[in-house]
């Protein structure tokens, strides 16, 4: 599998925010969100390292420093066929495994926490937005919404008695209505498992959005996710 980086840090978002974790980031994504904070795994994908499942497991153990939480992220890690065997190996070894996905690719990963980040219309790189790209905007718009995949991933996770969370990036108050529309389409998703995340790459931008994001979450009956990595390190890589 192609791996961009493996590093030890704190989980910055969602229900496990603040938990010491190993992050394994794969290279490659089928979407092109204009606000992507890891362009080296999507917009400008680097070659990365070709690693076997054994290699990734060994490196996770080496840099884990005793922690037992691991996060498979990207890019879009569900594009990697080896992610199935990798997550199984981690869980057999006693790791708590989180997998992050936009919910557009279906694979049967063996995970403790499914972390879904559905991409709404606010993510598409249309003209006038940063990283505008007409070709990719059209592809992104066609691919970003796969309700049948989302339902299948959620159903598999719930039937196994395991956890899920759904995280939405919101950039302006206008994005909140789209989150509400998505939730209306998926009434099976519990509000306590849903998080709004302000789009930001530094502490000042987080602070600017704090008040209206809090009000929006209250109105929708969902939670606000911290973005600890942004607050602590901005958009630095590998932390």
The confidence score (pLDDT) of residue 179 equals: 98
The continuous run of DSSP H or E covering 98 comes out as strand 96-101
The confidence score (pLDDT) of residue 238 equals: 62
The continuous run of DSSP H or E covering 25 comes out as strand 20-26
Write the burial class of residue 62 (CB in 10 Å: 0-12 exposed, 13-18 middle, 19+ buried). exposed
Q: What angle do CA 215, 204, 219 make, to 5 degrees?
A: 10
Instruction: Note whether 104 and 30 are within 8 A (CB).
Output: yes
Running along the chain, 239 residues long, what does each successive block of 10 average in pLDDT? 96 94 98 95 94 98 93 97 98 97 98 98 96 96 98 98 97 96 98 94 82 96 86 63
């Amino acid at each position: 599998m192609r791996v961009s980086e493996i590093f030890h840090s704190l989980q910055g978002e969602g229900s496990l925010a603040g938990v010491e974790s190993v992050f394994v980031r794969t290279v490659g994504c089928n979407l092109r969100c204009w606000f992507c904070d890891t362009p080296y795994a999507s917009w400008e994908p680097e070659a990365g390292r070709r690693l076997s499942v054994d290699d990734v497991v060994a490196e996770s153990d080496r840099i884990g420093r005793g922690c037992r939480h691991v996060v498979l992220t990207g890019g879009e890690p569900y594009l990697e066929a080896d992610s199935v065997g990798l997550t199984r190996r981690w869980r057999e070894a006693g790791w708590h495994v989180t997998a992050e996905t936009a919910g557009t690719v279906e694979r049967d990963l063996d995970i403790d926490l499914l972390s879904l980040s559905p991409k709404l219309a606010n993510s598409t790189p249309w003209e006038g937005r940063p990283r505008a790209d007409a070709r990719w905007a059209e592809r992104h718009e066609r691919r970003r919404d796969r309700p049948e995949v989302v339902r299948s991933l959620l159903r598999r996770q719930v039937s196994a008695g395991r956890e899920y969370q759904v995280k939405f990036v919101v950039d302006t108050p206008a994005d909140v209505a789209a989150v509400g529309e998505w939730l209306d389409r998926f009434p099976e998703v519990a509000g306590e498992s849903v998080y709004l995340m302000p789009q930001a790459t530094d502490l000042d931008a987080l602070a600017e959005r704090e008040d209206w994001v809090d009000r929006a979450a209250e109105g929708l009956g969902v939670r606000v996710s911290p973005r600890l990595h942004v607050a602590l390190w901005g958009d630095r890589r590998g932390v």
